[in-house]
Structures are given as structure tokens and as C-alpha cells.
Structure 1
Amino acid sequence: MLAFTVHEFAHAYAAYKFGDRTAYDAGRVTLNPRMHLDVLGMVLILIAGFGWARPVPVNRGNFKHPRLMGIVVSAVGPISNLILAAVGVLAVHELNQTGLLDAGSIGAHRAIVHFLYYLITINIMLFIFNLIPVPPLDGYRIIQDLVPTNVRIRMDQNAHWGIFVFLLIVFIPSLRAETLDPLFAYSGDIISWLINTCELVFDRVDWAKFSYDASR
């Protein structure tokens, strides 16, 4: 809920600041999860491990520089997920520094570890996933605003095939194992980069305290 809400809010807020009131008038410039979450998308997350939020309506024609601002509006969604993951890493640092976990109960320690583990990993996976250049993902919209107009028109004409391919990749395990799973493997590298960056800015911490067995 947190990852989806912040992601969609980032799209809506950026579009509003660039002069497009479409999302604002639809009530999407808010951090209220009820305005962004899709019931079916949330149910599928629990059942299939994949889901979605309600797309933010954007009218690029209202932007002063449609292509440049369109790229920014598309990119801020995934970037917001990367920022949330960074917040999770910083939270780990602060908890280590203050020793709050050592003073708490085992149950509280486990709850905090689980929350931070999912906060970091889910947001990193959403960051990677949304940059894939396949409709209807943000990566596809970024490519649309980068290519020449004639190429963009051709992309729009064939977008429905891209959506079909996207659904096949997501819901057919064998295709997912050959495409998405290797891509998600890079999430560990990004998390390591966030940790190393944090340690460059702050003191080194014992990250082993936050090791988590996902199989549990």
C-alpha cells in the first residue's frame, strides 16, 4: 500500500506542478491510499505476488515542454520507490545506532525487521519493474517521449500487443522465470549500493542484524 501510494502520488504531483490539473481534479494529488489503490490489483498481489494501482491520468498537452516533462512525470514514480528503499536503509542505520532493537522484545525486533525487509525489497523490485520498456509501464512511456514522433506513432499503434506480451510474461511462470526473475536478481546489487552509500555518509553498522530468511 505504501509503495503503490507514493508511486502514484509522485506521478500526480509532478504532473500538477508542470501545469496539468488532470490528476489534481481527479483527487490523485494525495497520499490517501484509497485514491490510488485498485481492489483487483491488491487482491492479485496477495494471491499471485503481482498487482497494480490505479494509473494516474496525465494530459501531456498541458505541459510547457511535453516530451521533457513527460519523461520526468514518468520517471518520478520509479524514483519514488528507490527513495522509499533508501529511507528503509537509513532506518536500519538509525536503529543500529540508537540500539533500540536491542532494548525491545524479540517480537518487536522481528516485526521491525520484517517491515524494513519488505519496505526495501518491494520498493527496489517496483523500481526495476516499472522501468521495463513494455506498456503500460513507466519505462515504455519514457521511451515514447525519447524517440522521434514517427516512431512514437508506430509504438502507439502496436501498444496493445505489448500489453498482451506483458501479461503473458507476468502470469506464465516459465516466461517469468526467463525474463522478470533474472531482472529482479539485480535488486540485491541495488540494495548493496544503497547500503554502501549509507556507510559512506554515516558510520558502518551491523547489517547482519537485519538478515531475513524470505522462505519464512
Structure 2
Amino acid sequence: MFNIDLEGLLSLVIAVVLAMSIHEMAHGLVSYWLGDPTAKMQGRISLNPFAHVDWLGVLCLLLFHFGWAKPVPIDASYYKDRKTGIIWTSFAGPFANFLLAFVCILIYFLIFRLTPQFALTGIGTFIMSTLSTSATLNIGFGLFNLIPVPPLDGSKILFAFLPDDQYYRFIEGSPFFMLVLILLIYMNVLNVPLAMLQNNILQFFINISSMILGL
């Protein structure tokens, strides 16, 4: 009665959980490097998905392509330069997603080059599907978080030119900003530009991987 692609669903769940986990871990790790022990003390500098994943956020991402993880606790008072620390910590999450996407693509083509027969087996097909899904989803997740609307990371990075007092008030966000974000998602205003950027970045990573591997 229901035609469910369990293999595809499992690949997607793995990709979503991994994207959220590495994104949040990167926030915590960079914050720790900048002197803030909060994330480390709470066990958030880890790839353990149970430390980061909000399962309602995962479900929403699977169903509506909009989700979230548990925010990593950050105490900017530990930073030597609070504003700069917030910017670097915020950028770490999307950067980790882009880096993981590139690694997935590189491994994908490496498997095809070294063991093309394996790529056509049952387990090989699943691994290739998971790598492909992870690459695409991580790029999308990284781009989404760079949208300059609080509470997303992009607002903390792209509005760094504001005076300090305005900057901190702005990045704290408000119900108004969240409403704007929800409306943008609901009206599909972001779909076309995000899809275009996602495809361009994906193709760029593919080209770089092909050059590295001599394909």
C-alpha cells in the first residue's frame, strides 16, 4: 500500500544527524579553543548525535526541510575579544558542514576510482547514496545557517560591522526575527537562491575532487 524507500530514508536520517552533530560540535570546539569551557563541560564537543540532536528538529527537517539541533551553550565572556569570538564560533558550524560535504564527495569519487565493483554492490550502493545525500544536505544546512536572520549564524557573522551595543542586541534576536524567518520559509522565498548556491558549491566540490583524483 505504501511505497517507502527504507534505504533512502536511512541514508537521509544518517545525513541529517551527522550534519547537525558536526555543526554543533564545531561551534563548541571553536568556542573551547577561544577559552570557553562551557561546551566541553556539558559534553558537547563530541560527534555523539545524542549530545546534539533535537529529534523534533530532525523530524521537521525530514518532512519540511527546516530543522534544528540543540544549541551549543556558549559563554562569550571567556573570549579575549567577545565580538570576534562570537563571529568565529558562529562561522565554525557552517564551515564544518561545507568541509564534511567536500570530504563526502572526495570519498565518493575515491571509491569509484579504486573499487568500482564495490560501488555497485548492495552495501556499496547504500554507502554511495549516503555519501551523496550527506554532501548535498550538508551544503544546504550550511547555507541555511548563513542566512542573516537571528538566531541563525549568518546574523552573527554578516552584521559584525554594527557598533557593539547594536550588534549584541541584534544577534540576540526577537520573536519578530523568528516570524520573518518562518514567513520566508513558508513563502518559499529562499528556495531558488539557496538551491542555486547549493548546486554551484556542489559542482565546485565535484570539480576540485576530480582534479585531486585525476578523474
Pick the TM interval, shorter chain: 0.7 to 0.9
Q: Which runs of 5+ in 2 are unaligned?
A: 1-16
Q: Which residue of 2 aligns with 1:30?
A: 46
Aligned with residue 203 of structure 1, among 187, 191, 214: 214
- The CA distance in 2 between the partners of 1:156 and 1:132, in whole Å, is 12
Higher mean C-alpha displacement, 157-166 vs 39-48:
157-166
2:161 paired with 1:161: no
Q: Which residue of 2 aligns with 1:136?
A: 151
Aligned with residue 4 of structure 1, among 17, 20, 23: 20
User: 5 Å matches for 1:42-57?
Assistant: 42-57=58-73
1:163-203 Cα shifts (integer Å, max 9, x gaps): 11112222x2xx11x22333222211101111222233330
2:132 paired with 1:117: yes
- The CA distance in 2 between the partners of 1:104 and 1:19, in whole Å, is 44
| TM-score of the pair, normalised by structure 1 | 0.84
- The CA distance in 2 between the partners of 1:36 and 1:158, in whole Å, is 22
Q: For the Cα contact (< 8 Å) 2:140–2:194, is it kept in 1? A: no
- The CA distance in 2 between the partners of 1:105 and 1:192, in whole Å, is 23
Aligned length: 199
| TM-score of the pair, normalised by structure 2 | 0.84
How many Å apart are 1:160 and its aligned residue?
2.7
Aligned residues with identical type, % of pairs? 33
Higher mean C-alpha displacement, 135-144 vs 53-62:
135-144
Q: For the Cα contact (< 8 Å) 1:70–1:145, is it kept in 2? A: no
Root mean square deviation of aligned Cα: 1.9
Q: Quick one: which amino acid aligns to residue 202 of structure 2?
A: I
Q: Which residue of 2 aligns with 1:83?
A: 99
Q: Which residue of 1 aligns with 2:141?
A: 126
